[in-house]
């Protein structure tokens, strides 16, 4: 994996005509470290990779996706890739190939424990959603009410109703989410 990430950093850096020295100055990482990381000799911490992503003007998830995936209908469990990591503690995985031509978007979401006392903000968007809890206790805020969903529980609603999710426990929550239409492809 180190070689894949390092190779992506190098290819992106070169495409932006940026030297190792310039990347070093933008990230406060040494030229030697960056060189070793690009060659796959050393591992990189997520916070350092996040600084590189910011300096190269890409989302952190860019380094975890595989553009060479062949067009196919089956996605094996070992082929599942991180699609997006969000600040709110969401780790999202697409559960399908070739999302560009699909009407629905199935995802596996891991929601880390909430470390903030801030209330969650509900928001509406286009379409409809289905969620199914696999592990943990998911708090669903929908239409001004909080509902705790346990493993095996599901919810299906129009997405124009203000809603959001939160993990109020100290364990990771895993759930399946399906959006129709696939409105969060690039979010």
pLDDT for 132-155, tens place per residue?
999 999 999 998 899 999 999 999
- Interior angle at CA 159, CA 154 and CA 164, nearest 5: 65
Sequence ranges of the domains in the chain: 2-63, 77-180
What is the percent of the chain with per-residue pLDDT over 70, rounded to a whole number? 88
Range in 32-36, 78-82, 146-150, 153-157 the model is least confident about = 78-82
Q: What is the pLDDT of residue 26?
A: 93
Superfamily of domain 77-180: Jelly Rolls (2.60.120.10)
Single out the residue of 34, 1, 37, 41 nearest to residue 20, CA to CA: 34
Q: Is the pLDDT of residue 186 over 50?
A: no
Confidence of residue 125 (pLDDT cuts 50, 70, 90): confident
Residue with tokens 């952190």: 60
Looking at the DSSP bridge assignments, the partners of residue 174 are 110, 135
Q: What is the pLDDT of residue 121?
A: 84
Phi first, then psi, for residue 93 (nearest 5°) are -125, 130
Cα within 13 Å of Cα(35), Cβ side: 6
Is there a common fold for 2-63 and 77-180?
Answer: no
Q: What is the pLDDT of residue 91?
A: 86
Q: Is the pLDDT of residue 70 over 60?
A: no
Structure tokens at 46: 């997520």
For the domain spanning 2-63, the CATH number is 1.10.260.40
Starting at the edge strand that comes first in sequence, how are the strands of the sheet with 128-135 ordered? 82-86, 90-94, 105-111, 173-180, 128-135, 154-158
- Residue 52, helix vs strand vs coil: helix
Rg for the chain (alpha carbons), in Å? 19
Q: How far apart are CA 22 and CA 25, in angstroms?
A: 5
Q: How far apart are CA 103 and CA 90, in angstroms?
A: 23
Provide mean pLDDT across the span 161-185: 85
Q: What is the pLDDT of residue 187?
A: 36
Residues 181, 151 contacting (CB under 8 angstroms): no
């Amino acid at each position: 994996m180190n070689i894949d990430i390092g190779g992506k950093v190098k290819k992106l850096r070169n495409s932006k005509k940026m030297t190792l020295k310039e990347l070093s100055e933008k990230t406060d990482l040494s030229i030697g470290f960056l060189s070793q990381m690009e060659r796959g000799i050393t591992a990189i911490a997520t916070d350092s990779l996040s600084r590189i992503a910011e300096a190269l003007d890409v989302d952190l998830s860019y380094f975890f996706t595989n553009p060479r995936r062949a067009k196919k209908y089956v996605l094996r469990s070992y082929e599942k890739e991180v699609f997006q990591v969000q600040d709110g503690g969401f780790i999202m995985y697409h559960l399908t190939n070739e999302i560009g031509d699909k009407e629905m978007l199935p995802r596996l979401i891991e929601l880390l424990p909430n470390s903030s006392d801030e209330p969650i903000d509900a928001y509406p968007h286009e379409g409809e959603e289905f969620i199914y809890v696999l592990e943990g206790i998911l708090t669903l805020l929908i239409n001004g009410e909080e509902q705790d969903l346990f493993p095996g529980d599901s919810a299906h609603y129009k997405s124009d109703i203000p809603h959001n999710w939160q993990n109020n426990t100290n364990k990771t929550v895993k759930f399946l989410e399906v959006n129709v239409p696939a409105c969060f492809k690039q979010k």
